[in-house]
A = this chain, B = another copy of it.
Amino acid sequence: MKTYLDCLPCFMNQALRAGRMATDDEKKIKELLDSLGCIIKDIPMENPPPAIAVIIYQKIREIIGVNDPYKKIKESNIKEALALYPELKKIVNNSDNKLLTAVRLSIAGNIIDFGINKEFNLVKDIRQILIQDFGIFHFDEFVKQLEKAKSILYLGDNAGESVFDKILIEELGKPVTYAVRDIPVINDVTIEDAIASGLDEVAEIISAGTTAPGIILNLCNNAFLKKFDTADMIISKGQGNYEGLSNVDRSVFFLLKAKCHVIANDLNVKEDDIVLKMIN
């Protein structure tokens, strides 16, 4: 997905939120916004938004000197999600269609997103997503491809959401590789976060080698690209990964909640719709 004009003010908002997470020094945050303002004119709009986020987070590291502004928030989100895990497993086990319920829960986990200018209430939002209609629902294709698949590449998105991913991976019943960000960016899941979420018990965890908050293939490492080319099935979580991969040339299943109007328009769904979309 290209970067839309609407993404430009949103980048400024993201930088402001991340800056405030990193420091109380308003002058430093102003310096960050000044610096971002100056590079807006150089942003290649044909690139997907996560490519721009790379620049924003580089500026945060340079100007504010903090590598992981969301570290504490991520730890707290993982802890909160792990506390819910036994209850979520019960919901799956007591449901008529365990796989579909696990898909819904995995999308519910996608609300834990600090790249977006929205507040969330985890328990309330889970309840809503368990009964919500899908904006796009390629579940039959998902089941069909899953049945045949011998290897699955699962693209993680946010920390905390990762616990919900574990629940879906447990229902897939196939060998799964779980790919994460190479270094902390927004509240996205890293290897350390994935292990804290218990994903090492159900999947091989690899870094995609990218510092972007979304998989953009030309920013990924070779080991990841090999998995991407050879996996029988790819499950991609969240907006950032959709933004990076919406135009790739192979089959991918996108699981996400459309949390902003730009993504919703691009997907031709309504804002806040939940989506299970297959491409190719």
Interface size on A, residues (CB 8 A): 21
Q: 1/0 contact trace for A19-59 toward B, CB 8 Å?
A: 00000001001100111111111000100000000000000
Confirm or deny: A131 has a beta carbon within 8 angstroms of a beta carbon on chain B.
no
Do A45 and B30 have beta carbons less than 8 Å apart?
yes
A12 within 8 A of B: yes
* A67 proximal to B (CB < 8 A): no
Q: Identify A30's interface contact among B5, B34, B36, B39, CB under 8 A.
A: B5
Interface residue? A145 (CB, 8 A): no
Q: Which chain B residues lie closer than 8 Å to A39 at the CB level?
A: 37
How distant is the Cα of A98 from the Cα of B16 in the complex, in angstroms?
45
A45 cross-chain contacts in B, Cβ below 8 A: 30
Please pick, from B5, B10, B16, B41, the residue contacting A37 in the complex, using a CB distance under 8 A. Answer: B41
Q: Are B26 and A34 in contact (CB under 8 A)?
A: no
Contact yes or no, A5 B29, CB < 8 A:
yes
List 18 contacting pairs A-B, 8 Å CB cutoff, sorted by A.
A5-B16, A5-B26, A5-B29, A5-B30, A5-B33, A8-B16, A8-B33, A8-B37, A9-B10, A9-B16, A12-B12, A33-B40, A34-B40, A35-B41, A36-B37, A37-B40, A37-B41, A38-B41
